[in-house]
Amino acid sequence: MTKIHRSLSQLLSEGLSAWQKILLIAVLGVAALGYIYTDPGQSMEDVGYRLAWLALTGTGLGILYGVYHKKTELNVRRAGLLMLLIIVQVAIIRGLGALSGVEVMGHKVTYGHLLLGQPYVLAPGMAAVMLGRKLGVYTALCTTLFGMALMPPDFTMANYMVLSLVAGLISVLLCDRAERREKIVYAGFVAGAAVFVAAVALGCFRGSALSTLHGEFNPSAFAAEAIVALLVNFLLCVFISGLMPIMERLFNISTHITWLEWSDMNNPILKKLQMTAPGTFHHSLYVQRLAEAAAEAIGADVTRAGVCGLYHDIGKLSNPQYFTENISNQALSPHNDLTAEASARIILQHVKDGVEIARKSKLNSRIISVIREHHGKLLTSFFYRKAMDHYAEEKKKFDEGVIDTCPEKVNKANFTYAGPIPQTRESGIVSMADAVESATRSLFNPTEEGRRDIIDKIFRERILDGHLRDSQLTLGDIDKIKESFLTTLSAMNHVRIAYPPTSDREAYAAHAETPAESSQAAL
């Protein structure tokens, strides 16, 4: 048994590609749904009907996803979460169906009553918060179609479809990119109200089994059903809000709320960066603004790009005094007392240190990737040239017989970042924002033409080096990013009016003519 488990684990970790694993998750998920659909007490006809529905619907949804969604939207963890949410919601629907026919306070519970208590917002709302709007809408469609097979094939099935889509889509629209957890709770309240209004409308025009619409109007029953519809969806969204941190940790997926929390300047890492390496901190703020504007220009994730820009250089916390933005007097730079190799080793180390700090702080894996990728496999050219110059001098002395030992040739690998190169659009944006901000900061009395020239030069060099080859940035994207950088830099470094010193202004004010005196002089 142990050997079988070890072989299965090895197959999942090494033997299958990412998309094969996703397909396996989908197959296992459909199998789980098939188990939920079946019941020993059902007739073979009912079992066959539900399994046929599952097979046909699952195939159609799979084709729909393949046609309308990008492959980059789904990975193994996200696919696992998506399938888990669908299975849980369908299982709850199946369990609620068992209550049909049960007497409560002298009245039999019908499927019409159960329509008000279905967990319509559970899977779509959670998917929207954790996976985004597109996958949230897809989840709402999946839970609607899979749930319909559990309904009686009459008006109840059609009513369920309408209510599920209404509540699911409302929860998706309101939960997508939620900036506060209160917004998720508000989504539950709105979805519950929509479910009740839609149920009343369907009862009026489609002959629903709602008790309030049969015979005489019953205010207390009407109020009770309204409360049920509101309360069920409200409590589900409260549950989603409380469950999110656990799900984020379990599936290593960060929500928009968590990304915003990381951008809070009271975060311990950012506070330490501000106090320990103020130059790096302000550089990171500029990179954040550049990255956010560029991401917005090309339709990338603005929040993610900005947060990654804030954290990309946290590795400099280990040795802040060795980085130029933290050195107030370059004449007293600690690099003056180090060899080029030693200086390069410290500079290169800030990437590894940043990854280690991010991991200890449990930052998102995407932030860690940007920290690792923002320098790609570039060369620390300043110290490499310094080493080459030193080698040339020592070699000349050796050739002239001044020294007896021939110097070792410079190993370029000792001056090159380990990489990898940027793998996402956000990573490519942060990488270029970092380079552009550092380069333009050194310009004396910069003009728009000067900034444009240096931005074009940096992008040209990076493209020729292949630095952006895997970043998924198109040439059109790059043109938009360059224009965005130029606009943002002009806004951040605008020229202010040079006011005269305070003493001069006071002297001028003391001798200035009053309006009356000016009028008399003009006459």
- Quote the pTM value: 0.75
DSSP notation for 213-230 = GSSS--HHHHHHHHHHHH
Helices 365-373, 340-360: inter-axial angle, 10-degree rounding:
170
What is the SS3 string spanning 94-134?
HHHHCCCCCEECCEECCHHHHHHHCCCCHHHHHHHHHHCHH
What torsion, rounded to 10 degrees, do the Cα atoms 459, 463, 466, 472 define? 90
Better pLDDT: 117 or 19: 117
* 321 to 311, 335, 379: CA distances (angstroms): 18, 10, 21
In DSSP terms, 416 is beta-bridged to 379
Q: Choose from 37-41, 50-54, 160-164 the range with maximum mean pLDDT.
A: 160-164
Helices 278-298, 425-441: inter-axial angle, 10-degree rounding:
130
Domains of the chain, start order:
16-254 (1.10.1760.20), 263-380+416-492 (1.10.3210.10)
Q: With left for phi above 0 and alpha for psi between -120 and 50, is residue 445 left, alpha or beta? A: left
* pLDDT band for position 205 (cuts 50, 70, 90): very low
DSSP notation for 267-333 = SHHHHHHHHH-HHHHHHHHHHHHHHHHHHHHHT--HHHHHHHHHHTTGGGGSSGGGSGGG-S-GGG-
* pLDDT band for position 73 (cuts 50, 70, 90): low
Average pLDDT over residues 262-284: 93
| List of residues 6+ apart from 444 with CB closer than 8 A | none
Q: Residue 375 corresponds to which tokens in the numbers above? A: 């320098």
Per residue in 356-390, pLDDT (tens digit) is 999 999 898 889 999 999 999 999 999 999 999 99
Q: Is the dihedral of CA 300, 302, 303, 308 positive or negative?
A: positive
Q: With left for phi above 0 and alpha for psi between -120 and 50, is residue 416 left, alpha or beta? A: beta
Average pLDDT over residues 144-148: 91
Average pLDDT over residues 478-507: 72
d(CA 355, CA 343): 20
Q: Residue 81 corresponds to which tokens in the numbers above? A: 């979460």
Q: Say if residue 215's pLDDT is above 80.
A: no
Q: Residue 269 corresponds to which tokens in the numbers above? A: 């890492």
Average pLDDT over residues 80-95: 91
pLDDT at 31: 86
Query: How many residues belong to the chain?
Result: 523
Comparing C-alpha atoms, which of 454, 493, 478, 485 is closest to residue 290?
485
In DSSP terms, 104 is beta-bridged to 107
d(CA 22, CA 17): 9
pLDDT at 466: 93
Q: Which SS3 state, helix, strand or coil, does residue 391 take?
A: helix
End-to-end, the C-alpha distance of the chain in Å comes to: 109
Q: Say if residue 522's pLDDT is above 80.
A: no
d(CA 132, CA 303): 13
d(CA 295, CA 302): 5
The residue behind tokens 């090159």 is 416
The answer to whether 33 and 87 are in contact (CB under 8 A) is yes
What torsion, rounded to 10 degrees, do the Cα atoms 346, 349, 354, 360 define? -110
- List helix spans (H) across 403-472: 425-441, 448-465
Per residue in 405-439, pLDDT (tens digit) is 888 899 999 999 998 999 999 999 999 999 999 99
Q: Which of 142-146, 386-390, 516-520 has the least mean pLDDT?
A: 516-520
pLDDT at 85: 93
Q: Residue 58 corresponds to which tokens in the numbers above? A: 């699952």
d(CA 269, CA 252): 20
Q: What are phi and psi of 379, to 5 degrees?
A: -100, 135
The answer to whether 316 and 283 are in contact (CB under 8 A) is no
The answer to whether 376 and 266 are in contact (CB under 8 A) is no
What torsion, rounded to 10 degrees, do the Cα atoms 378, 372, 422, 442 define? -50
pLDDT at 204: 52
Q: Which SS3 state, helix, strand or coil, does residue 413 take?
A: helix
d(CA 450, CA 132): 40
What is the SS3 string spanning 236-286?
HHHHHHHHHHHHHHHHCCCCHHHHHHHCCCCCHHHHHHHHHCHHHHHHHHH
